[in-house]
Amino acid sequence: MLRACLAVLLACLGSLYPPGSVLGGNRTETAHLAVDDVDQQLSPDQLQRFAADAEAALQKAIKFWAISYRTAELGKIRLELHPERAGQSFTVFQFEKRETAHRRVVRVHGIQSPQELVHKLTHALFPTDDKLVRNMMGIPTEERFGNPISFPMCGRNLDAWVMALRRTDSYIALKELGKQHEDWGMTFKGQMPVVSDRKRQHASYLEAGSFGTFLLKSQGVEKIKAFYKASSRDERPWRKAFDNDLPTLENQWLKSLEEYGRANQDEIDSLAKLWQQDPNTACYETQGFHGKTRPSERPRRKSR
């Protein structure tokens, strides 16, 4: 998910969680987060504000999904703040399994313009090895409560993107989105996920997000949570959770997209044109970087 993004912070400044206590000047804690500014990029006050924003966004996700995250039992989610990597902003979630306890870690690269933070915090609430399941939940949550410029939306509507994929013969059947990273146009270098096929990666994440939003609207939060829970025991139990198999659900979703498409032709036309020109840069274009310097390429001053 390596994508540069506009300098847009999480839009939750109006409902900050009360600041936690700073530990050693580069750590702070909130109700659910243990936040570590690994390279001391922020002052203690800035770190508290960042942590409070992240906690406020997480609280919105917790409320939306109607769950209770018990820190006494599960531990606080560790939020690590890192500089951009290779000039790009992105966020990664890892469920670190240890002998004594498991640890949920969200690593943010590019703290001045965090991208996918709410998406990955949602993964921390619902950890699973199944990329389709977690992206069906994480991407719609980012769309509601996070950074609208985040990948894969890139500032535009998920449904419009998917209609553009279909118009340009780039659509991937959902059954092809398996559990392997390669199915999603990705691989790993050491512990870091990297993009191996940018066109497939963007298309698969767009479809997972749009399909997840469709299921939330048509099936409801409780059925999505039941599907998540059952998927830990059974292989994607579509019929058990939704009373329909995947092809039926996929057809219902695509039919709803056709209705959207008839009402939003101009938007779909513009996205299809960008995708045909170069799917590798379509996200950057819709983020507004055409002919401009991307935020990650601008000189910055660090706050100590």
Q: Residue 31: inside a domain, yes or no?
A: yes
Nearest to 114 by CA among 41, 30, 193, 59: 41
The one-letter code for the residue type at 20 is G
Task: Please state at what angle helix 44-65 crosses helix 117-125, rounded to 10 degrees.
Answer: 60
Nearest to 51 by CA among 70, 74, 77: 77
So what's the pLDDT on residue 96? 86
- Cβ 146 vs Cβ 252: under 8 Å: no
Q: Residue 54: inside a domain, yes or no?
A: yes
Write out the residue range of the structural domain in which residue 38 sits.
13-296
The contacts of residue 107 (CB under 8 Å, 6+ apart) are 80, 82, 91, 92, 93, 94
> Within its chain, how far is the Cα of 130 from the centroid?
14
Q: Residue 177: inside a domain, yes or no?
A: yes
Q: List the structure tokens of 286.
A: 């819709």
Q: Residue 178: inside a domain, yes or no?
A: yes
User: CA-based angle 160:261:130, to the nearest 5?
Assistant: 45
Q: Residue 203: inside a domain, yes or no?
A: yes
Q: List the structure tokens of 140.
A: 């719609």
- Cβ 146 vs Cβ 221: under 8 Å: no
So what's the pLDDT on residue 164? 98
- Cβ 31 vs Cβ 79: under 8 Å: no
**Can you give the chain as a three-state secondary structure string?**
CCECCCCCCCCCHHHCCCCCCECCCCEEECCCEEEEECCCCCCHHHHHHHHHHHHHHHHHHHHHHCCCCCHHHHCCEEEEEECCECCEEEEEEEEEECCCCEEEEEEEECCCCCCCHHHHHHHHHCCCCCHHHHHHHHHHHHHHHCCCCCCCCCCCCHHHHHHHHHHCCCCCCHHHCCCCHHHHCEEEECCEEEECCHHHHHHHHHHHHHHHHHHHHHHCHHHHHHHHHHHCCCCCCHHHHHCCCHHHHHHHHHHHHHHHHHHCHHHHHHHHHHHHHCCCCHHHHHCCCCCCCCHHHCCCCCCC
Q: Residue 6: inside a domain, yes or no?
A: no
So what's the pLDDT on residue 219? 97
Q: Residue 183: inside a domain, yes or no?
A: yes
Number of domains the chain contains: 1
Cα-based distances in Å from 214 to 4, 109, 175, 210, 265 = 27, 30, 17, 6, 20
Q: Residue 3: inside a domain, yes or no?
A: no
So what's the pLDDT on residue 210? 98
pLDDT of the chain along its 304 residues, tens only? 333 332 222 333 222 223 333 444 499 999 999 999 999 999 999 999 999 999 999 999 999 999 999 999 999 999 999 999 877 889 999 988 776 778 999 999 998 888 999 999 999 999 999 999 999 999 999 999 999 899 999 999 999 999 999 999 999 999 999 988 899 999 888 767 788 999 999 999 999 999 999 999 999 999 999 999 999 898 999 999 999 999 999 999 999 999 999 999 999 999 999 999 999 999 989 987 433 334 333 323 233 2
CATH number of the structural domain spanning residue 30: 1.10.390
So what's the pLDDT on residue 21? 39
- Residue entry with tokens 């819709």: 286
So what's the pLDDT on residue 244? 97
So what's the pLDDT on residue 99? 67
> What does the alpha-carbon distance between residue 160 and residue 156 come to, in Å, rounded to a whole number?
8
- Cβ 156 vs Cβ 267: under 8 Å: yes
- Cβ 155 vs Cβ 15: under 8 Å: no
